Structure 1
């Protein structure tokens, strides 16, 4: 009989972990609502792992290789595009040094002068900028399609998914997890993976404190006067706390404006008027054809943040044996899902992961408190 693994949370992380483990374990996933119905479905779907893990390139390449290989699975697709960060004149020297340093580590990064950038990306107005940092390997996916495709794969390999099933407690005997207490009764398990987003801290507080706090972020989709051209990049505007990417139909998605959220259960799911106004004023300053852009849609979601903006993927030493934590993705859950799945498998089996797990270990923090300053990562490098 296979060992039993219970996963708390049916978002993109829970689905990715289930897919990774289902061939070798008896996997059950418990989701209080519908699969990928909260932060996962509301994500922008950007894949910028190489720029997010420049100090740990094996992590970034592991994710990139997965998305390239997974492209075309079912209805899932991965659209690869470069991403750019606008460079203001006061940061030109700093960003030139940055590009040289990163490129020396064989990462696909370069600095483009204003003239080069204008030629490469003619839709942009770089008159107020010295140039751009260009990351050559990045892309985007539809988050919901990605999560559901992972779910289908896991289900086909025997995983069972319980939706509309709240989990009330972790079951522990003699220092070892034995399963979960759900609204439908006990679910026996040899291992429990907690992938419950910002709710992880409260769920596990009796057993092990997790330094995660909720924050709220937003997205808006605009319809430009002319559809965005092929080759339009992804990117971010440092200092304005926004990132952006094209949609397949030529529309423009812009997100960010992230702040700590003290009332996550009651947080609005709509984009704020302040954010809409910020976008309306900002976008025409660096993009042509947006003076009369139409408003298509807007939304907001709540995710979990850690003190250093990187997730926790670990089996904490002070936690009951058999517990693995996968939380605190700081808005990068979609892009980090393949890494999280591989890390959880390594933690359960003892197999070596193809990257270091140290950057995800919970003991990197001096304190487990959730009273830390929230750091927005939407501004990019």
Structure 2
């Protein structure tokens, strides 16, 4: 065995496919002072028993691109290293056996086209031609991706390891990590079974061991092991090397060819957890006992699809635990709790498909200090407080596993681990007919049923108009014509305080927050490329104190971004006060009249104009009233200590009842913001989009001489122009359902996809937003001069384009 070096710049822990891929890509980037440590032998964790299917299409363009990076790497790896990988691009077939699944597949085909991924829709006969062993009487249609494939997990990992060694990376087997050494908040090295190695950076790719290891240094990685079984058959007549992989989600199963036989596995709806009390010592190159009884329902479903399995010889039923996560996505990135601690884990049984691209992304993240592109769906910072509890993580993860092959309905909510975080108003909202959704553990009212008519507060999912459409429309109209009250207690709320707080925010914020006390600013926070990392509001509540409000799901991400970018040496402290304050958002034309009834403070436009903050009293409560809106109407966010929430809510509802006030939920917020053209971070805007591209140049302080992070990049864009611009789109047919990811065509040419979509109940039409792209440049005139179509579930529909809000509160209705 090679000797453990005394120092390294980066140490990768874990010799599975993700660890070896990360080491390989670090080596390619010139990081030759990298060491990979594997406690036993390469692939001995879960990689060796992975099934090895490689699919690419996901609901996010960048994750699809990342999986495409895996395919590109696997295509060249054998020639580069001289080691066989078992990789073959034999294509992937996905069946639809009912009309709802067929709608989902057709929408996926449009998504693939949006992202530039080749995908063909097939008739049942065409599908059977590709997969002759299939019994297809119930097949409605199928999708075929010719660039999908399969690989041998152990072989491809060994090839990546050889490639890493060829680039100068050291790989040491049989070296366990006993302790990650952290001194004064900084990684200094690792204590291993072969001695101490000094290092600055640790990359934890330890699979199902990652959660426990990371926890020793205070890092939270929400994953748990779950049993996953598949069987391997003897040779079957008609199975050949070029047979595509097959996914049959309505029967919960998948198939791939192996040595003339089949590998068949699936995702049962009642998965079994493993190692609830911890992974046993010495568990490597180990499998669990085969559980034929638990596998039997999948086997019965498979026999209905592949009758040849009835007489096939079974080599083995493999039961291997793999790490799964609460949302079914893997985990990448630098931990918010500890600088220079990176994670690549939780691959939900598609680690082979993701391994090549994930290693590339993680290596570039380490080398550049930021990901190569927006990876929010897999970013470790998407998690938060509920994910520290392993029982909660396990409950949600088992539900996500059980839904792996179920239909992915629009706006679908999870049921497990609920309720977890509740606003003080939870009981009142329940009594009012709230149908709750959940985000980062928070129970949030999505819509309100009319209990007096027997309407039930329960979601019924559909690819057409869902059962909540009418209820959301009621709330939408009430906001436009009277007033509504939203419980937005789940907002993430921070305080930045200290003598240097103003100077720190001057640097971090792209808009000018250096206003007098009482000033309120909508601002982005940018990376060095000008990309939007945060989208939030900042209220100046004191000379040295600022109150920051951002979205529920971005609590960990935005806190981490602000804290990391406070200039070195600045005397400014950031504190998360999310749980301390409730938030009631009073919005609508009669909002001022209602507010005037419950407070003696002056809330006139002169006393409290738009973009200001003021402390007022309501029902004995000190309230920070922020004059701001995300729905396009007169209104206030009322921030108040949580213990007063019930009193203030009751006072507002009583005062507002004669003026048409009603409670409303988050789905109405979405329809209202679409009409007004407000952007949503994580869909319409993010690190890959700049304010210039997103139509948010008005929120930049370019007219001042104040330097801010990202300023050079947006100044350059403003001077030279951009190659994409965000635009709004409407379709005349009110029955069309826009969800996002629909393909945009300009003058017959594909030019982008919708980033978000929904329905505007005031304008009476479906609304979507997306970037119009052209390599030679895009400006307002270019966008407006085109003729547009949207592809929705493979059908192209005429669309109108808009560069201005569709709704103005001065108008009762606007023509579009």
TM-score (norm 1): 0.90
Distance 2:201 2:62 in 1: 31
- Structure 1 residues 120 and 208 mapped into 2: Cα distance closer, same or farther (>3 Å)? closer
Q: Which residue of the partner structure matches residue 332 of structure 2?
A: 313
Q: Which residue of the partner structure matches residue 306 of structure 2?
A: 287
> Which deviates the most, 232-241 or 329-338?
232-241
Q: Could you say what secondary structure the match of 1:307 adopts?
A: coil
- Structure 1 residues 56 and 203 mapped into 2: Cα distance closer, same or farther (>3 Å)? closer
Q: Could you say what secondary structure the match of 2:76 adopts?
A: helix
Q: Which residue of the partner structure matches residue 70 of structure 1?
A: 77
1:86 matches 2:91: no
Q: Could you say what secondary structure the match of 1:324 adopts?
A: strand
1:46 matches 2:53: yes
Candidates 114, 118, 143, aligned match of 1:108: 118
Matches within 5 A, 1:241-252: 241-247=252-258, 249-252=259-262
Over aligned residues, Cα RMSD in angstroms?
Answer: 2.6
Q: Could you say what secondary structure the match of 1:122 adopts?
A: coil
Cα offset, 1:169, TM superposition: 1.4
Q: Is the Cα contact below 8 Å between 2:253 and 2:266 reproduced in 1?
A: yes
Q: Is the Cα contact below 8 Å between 1:58 and 1:354 reproduced in 2?
A: no
> Which deviates the most, 252-261 or 144-153?
252-261
Q: Which residue of the partner structure matches residue 29 of structure 1?
A: 36
Cα offset, 1:141, TM superposition: 0.7
> Which deviates the most, 304-313 or 349-358?
349-358
1:183 matches 2:156: no
Q: Is the Cα contact below 8 Å between 2:89 and 2:146 reproduced in 1?
A: no
> Which deviates the most, 350-359 or 181-190?
350-359
1:157 matches 2:167: yes
Structure 1 segments (4+ residues) deviating >6 Å: none
Q: Which has the higher contact order (CA 8 A, sep 6+)?
A: 1
Q: Is the Cα contact below 8 Å between 1:85 and 1:380 reproduced in 2?
A: no
- Structure 1 residues 253 and 262 mapped into 2: Cα distance closer, same or farther (>3 Å)? closer
Matches within 5 A, 1:231-246: 231-246=242-257
Distance 2:236 2:50 in 1: 25
Q: Is the Cα contact below 8 Å between 1:59 and 1:355 reproduced in 2?
A: no
Q: Which residue of the partner structure matches residue 678 of structure 2?
A: none
Matches within 5 A, 1:210-359: 210-223=221-234, 225-247=236-258, 249-257=259-267, 259-263=271-275, 265=279, 269-319=288-338, 321-350=339-368, 354-359=372-377
Cα offset, 1:144, TM superposition: 0.5
Candidates 136, 139, 145, aligned match of 1:126: 136
Encode CA deviations 1:105-130: one digit per residue, 9 max, x unaligned.
13222322223323343221110221
Distance 1:184 1:67 in 2: 33
Q: Which residue of the partner structure matches residue 11 of structure 1?
A: 16
Distance 2:307 2:243 in 1: 12
Distance 1:136 1:214 in 2: 32
Cα offset, 1:276, TM superposition: 4.9
Q: Could you say what secondary structure the match of 2:142 adopts?
A: strand
- Structure 1 residues 56 and 131 mapped into 2: Cα distance closer, same or farther (>3 Å)? same
Distance 1:53 1:137 in 2: 18
Q: Could you say what secondary structure the match of 1:193 adopts?
A: strand
Cα offset, 1:52, TM superposition: 7.0
Candidates 176, 188, 191, aligned match of 1:166: 176
Q: Could you say what secondary structure the match of 1:69 adopts?
A: helix
Cα offset, 1:352, TM superposition: 6.5
Q: Is the Cα contact below 8 Å between 2:119 and 2:143 reproduced in 1?
A: yes
Q: Could you say what secondary structure the match of 2:208 adopts?
A: helix
1:363 matches 2:407: no
Q: Is the Cα contact below 8 Å between 1:237 and 1:380 reproduced in 2?
A: no
Encode CA deviations 1:133-171: one digit per residue, 9 max, x unaligned.
222221011110111111122223332233222212111
Distance 1:107 1:189 in 2: 40
1:379 matches 2:443: no
Cα offset, 1:47, TM superposition: 0.9
Cα offset, 1:43, TM superposition: 0.3
Q: Could you say what secondary structure the match of 1:211 adopts?
A: coil
| Structure 1, unpaired ranges of 5+ | none
- Structure 1 residues 230 and 10 mapped into 2: Cα distance closer, same or farther (>3 Å)? closer
> Which deviates the most, 154-163 or 141-150?
154-163
Distance 2:289 2:55 in 1: 25
Q: Which residue of the partner structure matches residue 638 of structure 2?
A: none
